Amino acid sequence: MPALITPTDRLHVSWMSACDEWPPGAHQSGTGLRLAPEADLADPGVFSAWVEQLRQQSDTSEALGEERVHATHWWIVEGDTYLGAIDLRHRLNAVLLDVGGHIGYSVRPSARRRGLATWALGAVLPEARALGLDKVLVTCDDDNVGSARTIERNGGVLEDVRATEAGGKRRYWITL
Ligand SMILES: CC(C)(COP(=O)(O)OP(=O)(O)OC[C@H]1O[C@@H](n2cnc3c(N)ncnc32)[C@H](O)[C@@H]1OP(=O)(O)O)[C@@H](O)C(=O)NCCC(=O)NCCS
């Protein structure tokens, strides 16, 4: 049975083995890796500091600048095995409204096509509702069939496909 948990340095070894499955430099959506662009996450101390950063992103007692938004991060796990990540941005700024959306996710390559992304997105929707949102924007690349299906399976209604520097972006709204 999968579960969503708050990121923890207890799963460092499993997280590292998942990371090894990705091609070098691949964008792991919804992981918060952008917070540690040059960090050596193989180092347990550096990993712990990054995990703490992830956890702090949801701390709404800390005011953020206009361009930054609070976000809650979860890991998709089975027992002590890391399978993927999903995050929920608490509000949209201009860039998120245009391309990024409220929710990002990724599943480690060896755990794909088992319904995990569909399950994880479905599990985060009530969390979004609990934050007071009545609909969420979820986006994916126009050619990302797996992500598009994940969103559609969770009730996503396509608003448009926007041209970006990196190609077309499908923008879906899910009513909560
Ligand atoms: C996209 C991604 C999250 C899907 O994760 P997953 O756990 O394999 O997805 P699921 O098993 O829940 O599959 C969801 C649906 O997409 C389909 N699907 C998944 N991957 C697919 C692929 N590569 N090609 C075609 N269909 C695919 C599944 O068959 C399923 O469809 P169904 O419900 O009609 O049977 C995963 O491939 C991934 O992490 N990719 C890289 C990061 C990424 O693209 N993140 C999303 C950014 S918006």
- Comparing 68 with 124, the larger pLDDT belongs to 124
Residue 65 has pLDDT above 80, yes or no: no
Q: Is 154 in the pocket of ligand 1 (CB under 6 A)?
A: no
**What CATH number is given to the structural domain containing 132?**
3.40.630.30
What's the rounded mean pLDDT across residues 59-68? 85
Host H or E run for residue 147:
helix 145-153
pLDDT of residue 37: 86
Backbone angles phi, psi at 62, to 5 degrees: -95, 120
What's the rounded mean pLDDT across residues 136-163? 98
Q: Is 29 in the pocket of ligand 1 (CB under 6 A)?
A: yes
Q: Tell me what percent of the residues of the chain surpass a pLDDT of 90.
A: 93
Q: Is 167 in the pocket of ligand 1 (CB under 6 A)?
A: no
What's the rounded mean pLDDT across residues 116-122? 98
Q: Is 137 helix (H, G, I), strand (E, B) or coil?
A: strand
Average pLDDT over the chain, rounded to an integer = 96
- Nearest residue to 107 via CA among 120, 117, 118: 117
In angstroms, what is the span from residue 116 Cα to ligand 1's centroid?
A: 8
- Nearest residue to 103 via CA among 117, 83, 115: 117
pTM: 0.97
Which residue minimizes the CA distance to atom 40 of ligand 1? 106
Beta strand 157-164 pairing with 103-107: unpaired
Which residue range is the domain that position 90 belongs to? 3-175
Please state the domain count of the chain.
1
* Buried-state track 1-25, b at ≥16 Cβ within 10 A, e below 16: ebebeebbeebbebbeebbeeeeee
pLDDT of residue 173: 98
Backbone angles phi, psi at 75, to 5 degrees: -110, 140
Decide: 98 and 34 in contact? Cβ < 8 Å.
no
Atom of ligand 1 nearest to the CA of 27: 42
Under the banding of pLDDT at 50, 70 and 90, the label for residue 108 is very high
Which token pair is 105? 């996710």
Q: Is 116 in the pocket of ligand 1 (CB under 6 A)?
A: yes
pLDDT tens for each residue of 154-166: 999 999 999 998 8
Of the residues 27, 76, 113, 172, which should be mutated to test ligand 1's pocket, given the most ligand atoms within 8 Å of the CB?
A: 113
pLDDT tens for each residue of 13-41: 999 999 999 999 899 999 999 999 889 99
